[in-house]
Amino acid sequence: MDLIGKNRHPVRMNEDTGQSEPISYRVRNVAAGFADIGLTHAEDLLRRMSPEGREQARREREAKARRQRRLMVRLILAAIASLMAWALLAAIASVGVATAIAAALMLMLTTLVFVRATPRAPGREALAQATLPNLAEHTVVWLAAQRRGMPQAALHLTDAMSRRFDDLAPRLDRLDPRSPAAASIRKLVAVELPSLVESWRAVPISARREPHADGRTPDDHLVNGLQLIDSELARANTLLQQSTLDEIAVQGRYLELKYTEESRFI
Q: Are residues 76 and 157 in the same domain?
A: no
**Whole-angstrom distance, CA of residue 86 vs CA of residue 99:** 6
Task: Tell me if 54 is assigned to some domain.
Answer: no
Indicate the average pLDDT of the chain. Answer: 75
Tell which wins on pLDDT, 134 or 45.
Answer: 134
Q: Are residues 208 and 255 in the same domain?
A: yes
pLDDT of 200 reads: 93
Residue range(s) defining the domain that contains residue 7:
1-49
Q: Tell me: pLDDT of 150 over 80.
A: yes
Structure confidence by residue, pLDDT tens digits, 166-199: 888 888 888 888 888 888 999 999 999 999 999 9
pLDDT of 42 reads: 54
Q: Of 105, 119, 22, 108, which Cα lies nearest the Cα of 68?
A: 119
Question: What residues does 22 pair with on adjacent strands?
Answer: 11
Q: Give the total number of structural domains in the chain.
A: 3
Band the pLDDT of 54: cuts 50, 70, 90: low
**Whole-angstrom distance, CA of residue 77 vs CA of residue 82:** 9
Q: Tell me: pLDDT of 68 over 80.
A: no
Q: Tell me: pLDDT of 15 over 50.
A: no
Task: Tell me if 243 is assigned to some domain.
Answer: yes
Q: Tell me: pLDDT of 219 over 90.
A: yes
Task: Tell me if 191 is assigned to some domain.
Answer: yes
Q: What 3 state SS string does 66-114 have? A: HHHHHHHHHHHHHHHHHHHHHHHHHHHCCHHHHHHHHHHHHHHHHHHHH
Q: Which amino acid is at 135?
A: L
Q: Are residues 203 and 143 in the same domain?
A: yes
Q: Which of 44-58, 93-107, 166-180, 219-233 has the highest mean pLDDT?
A: 219-233
Task: Tell me if 169 is assigned to some domain.
Answer: yes
**Whole-angstrom distance, CA of residue 143 vs CA of residue 107:** 34
Band the pLDDT of 134: cuts 50, 70, 90: confident
pLDDT of 91 reads: 84
**Whole-angstrom distance, CA of residue 261 vs CA of residue 249:** 18
Q: What is the DSSP string of 36-52?
A: HHHHHHHHHHHHHHSHH
Q: Tell me: pLDDT of 211 over 50.
A: yes
| Region of poorest pLDDT, from 49-58, 76-85, 131-140, 143-152 | 49-58
Q: Are residues 45 and 90 in the same domain?
A: no
pLDDT of 17 reads: 45
Band the pLDDT of 221: cuts 50, 70, 90: very high
pLDDT of 5 reads: 44
Task: Tell me if 157 is assigned to some domain.
Answer: yes
Average of per-residue pLDDT across 211-222: 90
